[in-house]
């Protein structure tokens, strides 16, 4: 299983510039967090979404949709990096992969392309979009384990 990065919301793993949730008239709930701690692996994240445990910023269960550009199963409304041109290699929007300097397809998307999609999603959250996943709860600080393990 691949480790889940701290930025691994659906927009990090891909995404879909599809229509957002039609019930997007719901208001975000201040201070809302996921009902469970953040998973360590992508597969754990998928199980939580498929089982209806994870919620959006309005407290509704997240749901999946297949991205028309990359085929990844994502939360509807998130921005797919493939919907943007790559600022690093110049690959056009909609292109399957980024390009190496030799002109061959790269194995992964360039970080700059993924970060650009994340910035769009962050701006949409700041503007009040509620269909994005709620943030993970902060880890509990000061429990017994923290006292036993030195920094």
Q: How confident is the model at residue 74 (pLDDT cuts 50, 70, 90)?
A: confident
Predicted pLDDT of residue 18? 45
Does 88 score more than 80 pLDDT?
yes
Predicted pLDDT of residue 45? 87
Does 17 score more than 60 pLDDT?
no
Does 19 score more than 60 pLDDT?
no
What is the rounded average pLDDT of the residues 134-148?
70
125-138: per-residue pLDDT in tens?
999 899 899 999 98
Report the run of H or E that residue 24 belongs to, with start and end: none
- Rounded to an integer, what distance in angstroms lies between the CA atom of residue 33 and that of residue 36? 8
Find, among 124, 134, 132, the residue nearest to 31 by Cα: 134
More confident site: 35 or 9: 35
More confident site: 113 or 13: 113
What is the rounded average pLDDT of the residues 82-95?
91
- Rounded to an integer, what distance in angstroms lies between the CA atom of residue 114 and that of residue 74? 14
51-66: per-residue pLDDT in tens?
999 999 999 998 888 8
Does 67 score more than 90 pLDDT?
no
What is the rounded average pLDDT of the residues 133-148?
71
């Amino acid at each position: 299983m691949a480790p889940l990065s701290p930025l691994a919301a659906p927009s990090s793993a891909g995404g879909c510039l599809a229509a957002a949730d039609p019930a997007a008239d719901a208001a975000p709930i201040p201070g809302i967090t996921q009902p469970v701690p953040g998973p360590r692996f992508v597969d754990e994240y998928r199980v939580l979404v498929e089982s209806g445990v994870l919620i959006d910023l309005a407290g509704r269960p997240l749901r999946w949709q297949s991205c028309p550009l990359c085929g990844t199963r994502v939360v509807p409304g998130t921005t797919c990096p493939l919907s943007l041109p790559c600022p690093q290699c110049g690959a056009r929007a909609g292109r399957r992969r980024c390009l190496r300097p030799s002109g061959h397809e790269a194995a992964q998307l360039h970080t700059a392309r993924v970060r650009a999609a994340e910035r769009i999603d962050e701006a949409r959250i700041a503007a009040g979009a509620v269909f994005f996943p709620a943030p993970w709860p902060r880890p509990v600080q000061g429990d017994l384990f923290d006292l036993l393990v030195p920094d």
